[in-house]
Amino acid sequence: MMHTRVVNRAGSGAVALETTLLLHGVPRDQGPALASLLASIVREEGASPALVGVLAGTPIVGMTDDELGALFDAPAVAKANTSNLGVLMHRARHAATTVSTTMELAAAAGVRVFATGGLGGVHEGYGTNLDISADLAAFTRFPVAVVTSGVKSILDVVSTREALETLGVPVVGFRTDRFPAFYLRESPAGVDARFDTVPELAGFVASELARTGRGVVVANPIPREAEIALHDWDLWLTKARETASAPGRDATPAILGALHTLSGGRTLHANIELVKDNARLAARLAAAMPR
């Protein structure tokens, strides 16, 4: 039973957007501009953007520019997944929402479509501890379609795909048969089904959300012209793993940050291009969804 009360400013045909990507995924000074860019892309496609975050303990679906500004002005903004969201609300803290909590709050507001960059997942087990993102389990609980460029290539992509299968999460590809890996268009893993048109995708997503009350992964590969070459990627990832390591919730932001520096901004450019493309597809999906 769900009782999360949210300030709900979502319009019809809303597309949820997350705040962790903006506050912890790109350099701080680029977050506000990226937020307005994503919002304008969503509007261009005839849908309405709903930025999700937590302001002084209050979850908001459809943050205003001022509310987002307050998050950017705050000295430290926690990263909320489904495990710590309740405590952050209870303590009246600011928080940025990840995929799992953006899904949770979007579902509470009746928003069915959400655009992100890449899902969290199963981290590489290179001699360290088990680390599996709360993003995966969120799909078993919240009826939201998440448009994503697959899972971040910093993860064990094939194991993450297997974990989604174990959890019974439908993974569909938009114009692809392969499960994408964020900076890379393809991975060795596949999808459950391929959809080539937005109306067909919208028809499936609407009926699947209603049928199961659970989420759907809509995998949308990074645009070809923004893809990172495999050779560069391997080199940067090896170096990033040597320089950046952080425990728990800090792991993903630390390694993304290191990659952006090591690659001279090329991974950041790719990240922004894939998020823009996901916002565009999510908006087209939301606009085409039957009620």
CA-wise closest residue to 187 among 214, 164, 155: 155
Cα gap 190→200, rounded to integer Å: 20
Residue from the set 45, 67, 135, 156 that interacts with ligand PSU by CB under 6 A: 135
Residue from the set 13, 59, 118, 150 that interacts with ligand PSU by CB under 6 A: 118
Q: What is the 3-state secondary structure (H, E, C) of 5-42?
A: CCEECCCCCEEEECCHHHHHHCCHHHHHHHHHHHHHHH
13 or 25: CB nearest ligand PSU: 25
Q: Which residue among the candidates 45, 79, 152, 227 is catalytic per the annotation?
A: 152
Q: Which residue among the candidates 18, 45, 67, 104 is catalytic per the annotation?
A: 18
Residue from the set 17, 35, 53, 98 that interacts with ligand PSU by CB under 6 A: 98
79 or 112: CB nearest Mn ion: 79
Helix, strand, coil percentages in the chain from 3-state DSSP, rounded to 5: 45, 20, 35
Paired strand residues for 237: none
Tokens representing 270 are: 């790719």
| 13 lines the binding site for ligand PSU (CB under 6 A) | no
Active site residue 79: no
**Phi and psi angles of residue 31, each rounded to the nearest 5 degrees, phi first:** -60, -50
| 133 lines the binding site for ligand PSU (CB under 6 A) | yes
Site map 239..258 versus ligand PSU, x via CB under 6 A: ----------x--x---x--
Residue from the set 131, 156, 227, 277 that interacts with Mn ion by CB under 5 A: 131
Residues involved in catalysis: 18, 152
